[in-house]
Amino acid sequence: MSNADSQDAPGGSGPATAATSGLATRLAHELAGAAEVKVENLQWGLSVTITPTNPHARAFGWADFEDEIVLQVGEYGGRWKLRPVPEDLAFLDDVARSVVAGRVREVLARKRSLIEVVMPDGSVETEAGYEGLAGCLPLPAWRRRSRSVQYAPYSSSP
C-alpha cells in the first residue's frame, strides 16, 4: 500500500478519519501482490486509487470529501456520487469487490463510456458518462455499436 500523507490534518482529525479509510486499508491487505492501493490524505479529504497488476483488469478509485464520496470506475462513465452513510458505504464496498472480481464491462465510444457492474446480489448497476462538447454531441446507437470490454479479475486465484 502506498500512503502519501500530503497535508495530513494535525491531531488525527480531518481527512485522516475519512469514512472510506477502513475500506482502503482492507483492500490494500487483500490485494497485496494483485494491485497497488494508493491512499493520499489531502487537505480536502482522502484520495484512493487502486491499480491492478493484471493489465486486463479495471482500475478504479474514489475521493472522500468527508460529506461526499465520488467513486470513479470507467473512462468517462461509472461515476457515482455517494454520501458517507451506511447504505452508500456498502454500495462502494460492493462495487469495489465486483470490479476486483472482474464483474465489470465498459462500452467505449468517442468521449463517452458506459459502465456495467454486476453486484454481488446479481443486480447490474450502470452509469454512462461524457466528456466535453464532443461527448454531448449525438451519437445514435453508440451503446450497441461501440467497442465493449469485459474486464478480467485482479487475480486468477479464488
**Side chain identity, residue 115:** I
Beta bridge partners of 36: 51
Q: Are 80 and 91 in contact (CB under 8 A)?
A: yes
Angle between helices 21-30 and 86-100 (to 10 degrees): 20
* pLDDT score of 136: 63
pLDDT per position as a tens digit, 7-47: 443 333 444 457 899 999 999 999 999 999 999 998 889 99
pLDDT-derived band at 6, boundaries 50, 70, 90: very low
Supply the pTM of this predicted model: 0.83
Question: pLDDT per residue over 58-93, tens digit each?
Answer: 999 999 998 999 999 998 889 999 999 999 999 999
> What pLDDT is attached to residue 153?
98
Cell numbers found for residue 57: 483488469
More confident residue, 121 or 132: 121
Binned at pLDDT 50, 70 and 90, residue 5 comes out as very low
Question: Whose grid coordinates read 450502470?
Answer: 126
| pLDDT for the residue numbered 143 | 66
